Amino acid sequence: NAGVTQTPKFQVLKTGQSMTLQCAQDMNHEYMSWYRQDPGMGLRLIHYSVGAGITDQGEVPNGYNVSRSTTEDFPLRLLSAAPSQTSVYFCASSSPRAGGDTGELFFGEGSRLTVL
């Protein structure tokens, strides 16, 4: 059981380039989300999705785009990379609880992105 798989694990970009971070889960989870983790800042929510075709913004959505065409996949697109987007990105998924909250999140191992 692979859980949550993120690719690539490491990426170096130049300012202005675009790229997509991939996230796939094999647990049939309805909820998926993307966080970025920066030193001293903890984890900040970028975007999330409660099911295929449904996405919403988190705390720091600017500069990122998401879509959810299948239950399994939730890619994160950087439209025009900036040095401020240098960070470690985590994808997480869960099966939402009755009453409407995320419940326990399962995290991927992270994607470390450097923008020069």
Partner 1 sequence: SQQGEEDPQALSIQEGENATMNCSYKTSINNLQWYRQNSGRGLVHLILIRSNEREKHSGRLRVTLDTSKKSSSLLITASRAADTASYFCATAARGSNYKLTFGKGTLLTVNP
Provide the binding-site residues for partner 1, judged by CB under 8 A: 4, 31, 33, 35, 40-45, 48, 50, 56, 58-59, 90, 92, 96, 99-110
Q: Are 116 and 14 in contact (CB under 8 A)?
A: yes
- Closest distance between partner 1 and the C-beta of residue 91, in Å? 9
Q: Which is nearer to partner 1, 47 or 115 (CB)?
A: 47
Report the 10 Å Cβ neighbour count for 80. 10
Q: Element (H or E) spanning 85, and its range?
A: none
Tell me how far apart the alpha carbons of residues 59 and 82 are, in angstroms, rounded to a whole number.
18
Which token pair is 68? 């959810």
Best CA proximity match to 11, nearest among 72, 77, 73: 77
- Closest distance between partner 1 and the C-beta of residue 78, in Å? 20
Q: Which is nearer to partner 1, 92 or 113 (CB)?
A: 92
Q: Which is nearer to partner 1, 44 or 75 (CB)?
A: 44
If you count them, how many residues does the chain have?
116
- Closest distance between partner 1 and the C-beta of residue 92, in Å? 8
- Closest distance between partner 1 and the C-beta of residue 110, in Å? 6
